[in-house]
Amino acid sequence: MDEDDLNKDHQHATNKWAKHFLDEYGDKGVEKLASSYREGQPCRWELKRNGSFNSCHKVVFKDGTAWAVRFPIPGRVMHPDEKIRREVAVMKFVKEKTKIPVPKVIAFGTAADNHDPSIGPFLITDWVEGVPVTNVIEELPRPSWSPVLRHDIEDNLLRKIYSQMASILLELAEHDFTKIGALYMAEEDDTLPSWSIEHRPMTMKMNDVGGGGNVIVDDHTLPPFETTTDYMQHLVQQNITHLHKQRNSIDDAADARRKFILRCRMEALVPYFTSKTHESGPFKLFCDDFRFGNVLIDENTLEFTGVIDWEWTYAAPQQFLFSAPPWLILEQNHYKENFTIFLQCLGEEEEKRQNQIPEDQRMSTLMRRSLDDGTFWFAQLMQEAFNFDEEILWRNLERAVQERRLLEVGVPSEEDDEKFVETKLMELDQYNLELRML
């Protein structure tokens, strides 16, 4: 699905912020902000790294202490203040409760806490040395069609990386939550911090639809979800809302028909691809953006030095964390081969922990099953926004649907189908007319 090219509000917000940062705030503004959280000690700006959602800056103090100062980029992040609050809650939880290498949070604040409020909220953490794992395992420069695993990568290197990724997933699996939603951290001066689930998740899918489609598909301030089925049905409804409300969400009549049918079918398939074992929990911490690019590694020791970018993390249905990892898709044709190696590494990490978990409940067992029964592809589609209709995802799910004899489940009536197509074509014509008038 294409993005909405007519509404440029978010792009204008990004451009305005970037210009103000470059012209007014600059390196000195970053230094001033960082120094204010170290008793005014001077520091030196060293470098900048921009990602999809944040602008990250390295500052170094005279004693060698290095910090990362991150700013959410307006127009790319829909709710920057809340994004920061939730990310900090997750990072502090992971830092205290797990062995995952996470940067220490030094300070954070809303736009009002910044000496220039127009720059917005910020997050200051320890600077983590290392390069993204992608630099070590991918062919670079990356081909235009997709990431590709290095052809000369040694088996022991791949296994070392997979084992560390597996260990991170197992650490996250250790912790249970009673609701599906965002972590909230209560921190009083005289007590230890505590965490609870108070509101709905704020997901990367919601942010992408809001930013690229100018469509609000959920309200993250509402109460959290109590069951897996309710949340899964709500995720499908987000895709339905996106299709209906973005005027250029279709290309033509055939495209409109296909997209409408797929969403009707997906909605009806929820009960067949949703695990009943953990319907009411426990739920697990899950990060939408956990991938090789957000894991830093020491190129000499090949040990992970830090996992970054936790903003799209929340307590989710267990089958999200326990499904086959999508970040293994470096080359579609070799996914199962890579997955087999990863499962071996995951199994070895499970054995090290000696948790006495029954074989049929182990993460490695459930991951293998998710690929065999199609729940992996179902969970992937649930998290997609603009790529929801991609043929490669549906092709794999369709195999599982056919094997279960569910091909006719949820297929809408021809009358409903044609009514939708007629409405969307009228919206598309009006959209294209307005686009030509720009």
The reply to whether 119 falls in a domain is yes
CA angle 91–181–85, rounded 5-degree value: 40
The reply to whether 314 falls in a domain is no
Residue 42 has pLDDT above 80, yes or no: yes
DSSP 8-state class, residue 332 = G
From 163-167, 183-187, 215-219, 247-251, the region with the lowest mean pLDDT: 183-187
Residue type, 341: I
Given this model, what pLDDT does residue 315 score? 97
Cβ atoms 74, 53 nearer than 8 A = no
First to last CA, the chain: 22
User: Per-residue pLDDT averaged across 281-294, rounded?
Assistant: 95
Residue 362 has pLDDT above 90, yes or no: yes
* DSSP letter string, 168-183: HHHHHHT--BSSBBEE
The reply to whether 26 falls in a domain is yes
Q: For residue 278, which of 172, 361, 203, 188 has the smallest C-alpha distance?
A: 361
Each residue of 237-263: b (16+ CB within 10 Å) or e?
ebbbbbbbbbbbbbeeeebbbbbbbbb
Domain that holds residue 57: 1-128
The reply to whether 37 falls in a domain is yes
d(CA 105, CA 107): 6
Q: How many H-runs (helices) and E-runs (strands) does the chain carry?
A: 14, 12
Each residue of 159-172: b (16+ CB within 10 Å) or e?
ebbbbbbbbbbbbb
Q: Which residues pair with 285 in a beta bridge?
A: 315
The reply to whether 392 falls in a domain is no
Residue 189 has pLDDT above 70, yes or no: no
DSSP 8-state class, residue 328 = G
Given this model, what pLDDT does residue 333 score? 61
Residue 331 has pLDDT above 70, yes or no: no
The reply to whether 144 falls in a domain is no
d(CA 351, CA 371): 22
Given this model, what pLDDT does residue 7 score? 83
User: Per-residue pLDDT averaged across 271-278, rounded?
Assistant: 91
Q: pLDDT-derived band of residue 429, with 50, 70 and 90 as boundaries?
A: very high
Residue 387 or residue 331, greater confidence: 387
d(CA 158, CA 166): 12
The reply to whether 81 falls in a domain is yes
The per-residue pLDDT for range 115-139, each reduced to its tens digit, is 999 999 999 999 999 999 999 998 8
Q: For residue 307, which of 108, 107, 93, 147 has the smallest C-alpha distance?
A: 93
From 128-132, 136-140, 243-247, 423-427, the region with the lowest mean pLDDT: 136-140
d(CA 305, CA 273): 36
Q: pLDDT-derived band of residue 144, with 50, 70 and 90 as boundaries?
A: confident
Q: Which residues pair with 300 in a beta bridge?
A: none
d(CA 220, CA 314): 12
pTM (global) more than 0.75: yes
* DSSP letter string, 215-229: -----TTSPPBSSHH
Q: CA 414, 417, 422, 423 torsion: positive or negative? A: positive
> Residue 145 corresponds to which tokens in the numbers above?
């069609």
Q: pLDDT-derived band of residue 328, with 50, 70 and 90 as boundaries?
A: confident
User: Per-residue pLDDT averaged across 412-418, rounded?
Assistant: 95
Given this model, what pLDDT does residue 332 score? 59
d(CA 252, CA 239): 18
User: Per-residue pLDDT averaged across 87-98, rounded?
Assistant: 96
Given this model, what pLDDT does residue 382 score? 93
d(CA 261, CA 258): 5
How many structural domains does the chain have? 1
The reply to whether 23 falls in a domain is yes
Given this model, what pLDDT does residue 283 score? 97
d(CA 429, CA 436): 11
CATH number at 41 reads: 3.30.200.20
